[in-house]
Structure 1
Amino acid sequence: MFLMANSLAHTKWICKYPIVFTPKYRRKVIYNQLRKDIREIIKDLCKWKGIEIIEGNMMPDHVHILISIPPKMSVSSFTGYLKGKSAMMIFERHTNLKYKFGNRNFWATGYYVSTVGINTSTVQKYIREQEKQDQIEDSLSRKEYSDPFKGSR
């Protein structure tokens, strides 16, 4: 199997996404105390959803994070959750920002996302080992099944 793969019940997965989003009007507001608070808020929200932050960077006018999201969760739903909840928490902690940003719209609409692949040799190794795994599982269950598409002649 994959060396660094995560697991769900019947799934091995590596789903990494770099996501970039910006404050409304690309204001340069991610400084000092606000930067620390936004970092902690994003860490907490990811932890609550079981999302691993692999790498992150808080720039003055945007947030760039590389996260690992399980395949059962869509990137768009998680990003909507992250931006929406973090905006509410930022305004809760920094009430003076509501005069600059208005109706709790801290983040600009939209975001950038891409995928991070794995190398070909890892896929080849997985495919080779999957065949071995199937053979092992078949040898544990020796029950013979009749072909349901052939008549009983």
Structure 2
Amino acid sequence: MSQDYRTTKTTVSLLNYHFVFCPRYRRKVLIHEVETHLQQLVQEICLEHDWNIVAMEVMPDHVHLFLNVLPTDSPTEIMAKVKGITSRRLRQHFEHLNHMPSLWTRSFFVSTEGNVSSETIQRYIENQKKRG
């Protein structure tokens, strides 16, 4: 059971957040090229901000994102950056997404690792598409 501990000059931390966020009206627009482009964008954003992706699964009407982050990054700031950047870039790239007033809902779900292990959350996310 390996954990990814993050180290700064004065802090050693293990902060893992499980995010779930949805397109506006829970529309099933995260498919085909949109899904692929969204995954690439999230990877770029996370790399730029030094967030480690433990697991990510894009479903047609929602996204599961399990991140390991530094304590200086709040869940609200993380979601604001992820949703803001992906919304703008996806809507620039895929014209059919512009008919929606905004790509993402204003809300999101977040939980910390807590009593559930990282492996359990990762397995849950990875098995989302296998469910019938």
Counterpart position of 1:29? 29
The structure-2 alpha-carbon separation of the partners of 1:11 and 1:88, relative to structure 1 and needing over 3 Å to count, comes to same
Consecutive unaligned residues in structure 1, runs of 5 or more: 120-153
- Alignment match of 1:110 (pick from 107, 112, 117): 107
Unaligned runs of 5+ in 2: 117-132
| Superposition deviation, residue 56 in structure 1 | 0.8
Match of 1:6 in 2: 6
Superposition CA RMSD, Å: 1.7
Give the alignment of 1:21-100 within 5 angstroms.
21-99=21-99
- Residue 28 of structure 2 aligns to a residue whose secondary structure is coil
Q: C-alpha deviations, 1:57-83, integer Å up to 9, x for none?
A: 111100001001100111111111110
Deviation, 1:95, is 2.1
Task: Give CA deviations for 1:85-138 in whole Å, capped at 9, x if unaligned.
Answer: 110010111123212x13xx100111000000379xxxxxxxxxxxxxxxxxxx
CA distance in 2, matches of 1:28, 1:45: 23
Residues 13-59 of structure 1, C-alpha deviation per residue, up to 9 Å, x if partnerless? 00000000000000011111111011111111111111110001111
Partner-residue secondary structure (3-state), 2:112: coil
Task: Provide the secondary structure at the position in 1 that maps to 2:106.
Answer: coil
TM-score in terms of structure 2 length? 0.81
Q: How many residues align?
A: 115
Percent identity among equivalent residues?
24
What TM-score does the superposition give when structure 1 sets the normalisation length? 0.71
Q: In the alignment, residue 23 of structure 2 is paired with which amino acid? A: P
Judge conservation of contact 1:20–1:63 (CA < 8 Å) in 2.
Answer: yes
The answer to whether the 8 A contact 1:69-1:75 is kept is no
> 2: CA distance between counterparts of 1:51 and 1:16?
10
Query: Computing the radius of gyration over CA atoms, which structure comes out larger, 1 or 2?
Result: 1
Distance verdict in 2 for CA 1:3–1:45, change over 3 Å? closer
Comparing 24-33 and 88-97, the one that deviates more: 88-97
The amino acid across from 2:41 in the alignment is I
